[in-house]
């Protein structure tokens, strides 16, 4: 065992954020629009920016089983909550760097798409 204690918390006991949901639900659309316009931390988006904006969707994540050296896994886990996302970010950075390097060498280096994956064999 890791020596850590497990704490169980009921969903009803969880601490909520500071957003005042009831107040927001009572607001009319006009009041919400006026509040948004007056918020200096959130200026309205310019029409030109909106015209060129593109929706960027994160790739779907897949659950896999992978063997990692114990010391490597221990280091990532020691980074705290979100260590798996950190591992994914490191792998993505390596993938992007390698693809750019391969393109600059003329080796093709395209990033794999979900459709281009090879079928899994055992």
- 55 is a domain residue: no
- 85 is a domain residue: yes
- 102 is a domain residue: yes
pTM, 2 dp: 0.45
pLDDT tens digits for 45-57?
888 888 988 888 8
Q: Which domain, by its residues, includes 86?
A: 81-112
pLDDT tens digits for 63-115?
999 999 999 999 999 999 999 999 999 999 999 999 877 777 666 555 555 44
pLDDT tens digits for 16-42?
666 788 888 899 999 988 888 888 888
- Here the tokens at position 65 are 């089983």
- 70 is a domain residue: no
Number of structural domains found in the chain: 1
Residue 71: strand, helix, or coil: helix
């Amino acid at each position: 065992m890791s020596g850590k204690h497990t704490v169980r918390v009921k969903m009803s006991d969880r601490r909520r954020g500071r957003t005042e949901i009831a107040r927001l639900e009572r607001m009319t659309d006009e009041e919400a629009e006026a509040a948004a316009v007056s918020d200096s931390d959130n200026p309205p988006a310019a029409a030109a920016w909106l015209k060129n904006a593109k929706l960027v969707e994160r790739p779907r994540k897949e659950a896999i089983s992978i063997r990692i050296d114990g010391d490597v896994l221990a280091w990532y886990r020691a980074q705290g909550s979100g260590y798996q996302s950190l591992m994914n970010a490191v792998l993505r950075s390596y993938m992007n760097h390698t693809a750019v390097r391969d393109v600059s060498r003329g080796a093709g280096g395209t990033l794999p798409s979900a459709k281009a994956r090879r079928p899994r064999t055992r």
